[in-house]
Copies of this chain bind each other. A is one copy, B any other.
Amino acid sequence: MVQPTAFLAPIIHSLSISELEILPCALLVVNGEGKITSLLKDVNPNEARHILDRLNFPGIKINVLGPGRFLIPGFIDTHNHAPQWAQRGLGQGMHILDWLDTITFPNEARFQDPACARRIYASCVDGFLRQGVTTASYYGSVHGEATRILADICLEKGQRALVGKCNMSRNAPDFYRDASVEQSLRVTEECIAHIRSADPGGQLVRPVLTPRFAISCDDELLRGLGRIAAREPDLPIQTHFNEAEQEMQATRGLFPQFDSEADLYEHFGLLGPRSILAHCCYVTEYEMERLRALGCGVAHCPVSNMTVGGGFMAAPVREFLRRGIKVGLGTDSGGGFSSSILDAMRQAMIASHAREVMSKGQDKGLRIAEVFCLATLGGAQVCSLEDGVGNFVVGKDFDALVVGTQGGDQGIMTMVEEHDSLETVFEKFVMTGDDRNILEVYVQGRLVKPSCDEGAVKH
């Protein structure tokens, strides 16, 4: 339970990919369960109290946002490797499989040690909350205990999350892979059970099936995960999909019976509306059509696609949107050097401009309003959480950021001027802001932004 609160504030949120709603003076009411019960437009500040009385919230605290401040929905990071938090920025320019072998597997292997998991996951979750990520879909390491620790930390710190134990039974070093298919599946079930017992209603944290990618999973493991998926129709599934040429070639070598990764994952029962497919950089016409028909979601990770992983090409987002395929943004931290969804939004625009050139102008670049939708409502759709979060529709949970654009004491770089419209201030925030502009972070109505003095960055 939280304290019911009303916000009298400028509000900006996406109603759809083509509809950004900008409300200069709205009244938003959050009840004791952290749910949005009202969103009223064009409210005169003088009548707010009267309206709240009529809404049966007498005496409710009214949070009036000051100059240059506004409310937006929390950011949703649809693709995030929690154990890579401390390796962000390393291995630039490497191709995917080399980067895994040289940098990533040795790093993730350390999460065998619960103390390491506790230290780095606490910093990771604090770090993402500070940057306004109210929901993250996390890949854990291969380890059961570390993955349970990650889920516990998300719950404790109040971050909404999907948390998955990473499945990998082959093509990984001896020191870092599941001992057997049986063990991989058993630990997966243990993690699912733990998370459900820690958060029985799945209010905040939920399990997610996480086969790393087909290269690291043999047929038997994929079949076993497919059986769990069939038994649990609400369990989300995440994996890497058509990320890079090196990866796609290796996959074809291991699974010559399939013409595409779409057919491969579909065969094992892992492709459907609850599938979160990271990257999708190279997608054939056939696969595009399968993703659409099956209702899969794409976790677009432009930062890592353009730097680590190889291929150096990001997903054809405009084409996905044209076909009605769900798209959200992922930091892919730490393959992506940045853990900021704001950076992901900017890089999504940049990558879309490169796609515009490649398509000779046919696939127009993404606009600010569009990448903002991907970062919020689109991400909610990809994580199958759109009934609960993603914008400020009445009935959803209040996952929100109070954005500030003025104030030297916080080192804010955004420069707003008196004559700037709310839309201009918003654009300046999206393009020039950072975590210092994100003054407050709410998940389910609970204030969760850690201050700089505690947690996150004390290492």
Contacts and interface: CB of A to CB of B under 8 A. Distances in A.
Interface of A: 85-86, 88-90, 92-93, 120, 123, 127, 130, 306-307, 311-313, 337-339, 346-347, 349-350, 353-354, 356-357, 365, 367-368, 406-417, 424, 427-428, 430-432, 434-436, 452-459
Contacts of A365: 93, 312
A282 B93 CA distance: 24
A89 B339 contact: no
B92 A408 contact: no
User: Ordered nearest first, which 9 A-B pairs have the shortest CB separation?
Assistant: A89-B431, A408-B457, A312-B353, A337-B431, A408-B458, A411-B452, A306-B350, A89-B432, A86-B415
Contacts of A311: 357
Contact of A85 (B338, B346, B415): B415
A357 B408 contact: no
A349 B457 contact: no
B353 A306 contact: yes
A137 B129 CA distance: 38
Contact of A123 (B415, B435, B455): B415
Contacts of A357: 311-313
Given A89-B432, A347-B350, A415-B457, 20 more contacts: A85-B415, A89-B428, A89-B431, A90-B428, A92-B367, A92-B368, A93-B349, A120-B415, A127-B413, A130-B411, A306-B350, A307-B350, A312-B354, A312-B365, A337-B432, A339-B432, A407-B457, A408-B458, A417-B459, A434-B434
**Residue from A353, A367, A407 with most neighbouring chain B CB atoms (10 Å):** A353
Contacts of A89: 414, 427-428, 430-432
Given A368-B92, A452-B411, A346 B354 contact: no
B312 A356 contact: yes
A405 to B, nearest CB: 10
B93 A367 contact: yes
B349 A427 contact: no
Contact of A452 (B92, B338, B354, B408): B408
Given A93-B349, A408-B455, A457-B407, A428 B312 contact: no
A132 to B, nearest CB: 13
B92 A409 contact: no
A59 to B, nearest CB: 36
Nearest to A454: B408
A414 B88 CA distance: 8
A417 B410 CA distance: 26
Contacts of A338: 432
